[in-house]
Amino acid sequence: MTKSSRAAAAAPAPRSLDEVLDLIRDRGGRVTASRRLLLEVLFASPGHHSVEELAKLVQAVEPEVHLSTIYRNVEELERLGVLEHSHLGHGPATYHLTTGAHTHFVCEECGTSIEAPDALFEHLAAQALERYDFAINPHHFAIVGRCASCR
């Protein structure tokens, strides 16, 4: 993690589209039409989306926005701390707004994803820091196991 991404991660998560746009401007970024549209889609469609899914949502509104533009915007928004990516099982990375940051349990049998509160991992995070001098980011990965239906 770079110094700038650590700083972005430490900043409080923006809660609205206007706050995100202000954050982008405050950090010297540009608020382009495609970036604004991507953010509107993210706020209107909460949850986890791959870049390809985000592109489909954006292109449903504005077909001229290219997939490469979505990739660049997602990368920049993640660098700014507006988006988090997670690896939920074997599929592509998914992205969600940091306003709804949480940890994931994913069933290895049926693929069900269960959102778990961050508080559940506070002890683990404290122990990792104390024993190994390692700061974990539980939002980046999923804990794989079996859901109640598949056990």
Q: Which pLDDT tens digit goes with each residue over 81-139? A: 788 887 766 677 888 777 655 677 888 888 887 877 777 888 888 899 999 999 887 66
Task: Report the DSSP beta bridge partners of residue 14.
Answer: none
How far is the C-alpha of 78 from the C-alpha of 137, rounded, in Å? Answer: 14
**Does residue 140 register a pLDDT over 70?**
no
Q: Are strands 103-107 and 94-97 parallel, antiparallel or unpaired?
A: unpaired
Total residue length of the chain: 151
- For 57, residues 6+ apart whose C-beta sits below 8 A from its C-beta are 41, 45, 49
Structural domains of the chain sorted by starting position, each given as residue range(s) with its CATH number in brackets: 3-99 (1.10.10.10), 102-145 (3.30.1490.190)
**Does residue 40 register a pLDDT over 50?**
yes
Please report the pLDDT score of residue 15 as a whole number: 73
Task: Report the DSSP beta bridge partners of residue 107.
Answer: 145
Q: Which pLDDT tens digit goes with each residue over 44-69? A: 987 788 999 999 999 999 999 999 99
Could you tell me the CA-to-CA distances from 61 to 34, 43, 120 in Å, in that order?
Answer: 11, 14, 38
Could you tell me the CA-to-CA distances from 126 to 64, 82, 120, 134 in Å, in that order?
Answer: 47, 24, 12, 9
More confident residue, 135 or 2: 135
Torsion of CA 143, 92, 68, 78, to 10 degrees: 0
**Does residue 3 register a pLDDT over 60?**
no
